Amino acid sequence: MGLSSSGKFCFLYQIYEADAFRGKRVKFRAAVQVSGEGYARLLVRIHRLDGSTSFRWDMGISPIRPGPWALYEISAPIPPDARDIELGIQDFEQGIATIDQITVTYSD
C-alpha cells in the first residue's frame, strides 16, 4: 500500500478495541520504503478507558528516510485498563511511503 503526502502530512491508521488484548504486548511490524523528499514513521498509540494515552511511539527520533525496503517494529505493553490500540504510518513532506508485509502479534 502506498501513501503520498503532496503537502506536509498524510496519515493512514487503524484503531481497534483492546478488550481481548489487555495485559499482553502488541508487536507492530512492517516493511517500509520511502522515496522522494520526505520521510515516514510507524506509529503505535494505546488509549486508556479514561481517554488518556498509556503508550505512544511514532519513531520521532528515528524516522524512516528514503532508501531501500527495510523492516521496522514497535512493541508496546497493553495495560489492564486499555480502551483501544491505534496502529499506523505517517508520511511527511514530499515523500512517498510504501508499506507491506504488515504483521501484528500479541504475547504474554
Q: Which residues make Cβ contacts (< 8 Å) with residue 36, sequence separation at least 6?
A: 4, 66, 93, 94, 95, 96
Level-2 CATH architecture, domain 2-107: Sandwich (2.60)
Element (H, E) at 33: strand 25-36
User: For residue range 10-58, what is the model confidence (pLDDT) as tens digits?
Assistant: 889 999 999 999 999 999 999 999 999 899 999 999 999 999 999 999 9
Band of the pLDDT at 7, cuts 50, 70, 90? low
Per-domain boundaries in the chain: 2-107
For 53-101, the pLDDT digits (tens) are 999 999 999 999 999 999 999 999 999 999 999 999 999 988 889 999 9
Residues with Cβ within 8 Å of residue 90, at least 6 apart in sequence? 9, 10, 11, 40, 41, 42, 43, 58
Question: 3 falls in which pLDDT band (50, 70, 90)?
Answer: low
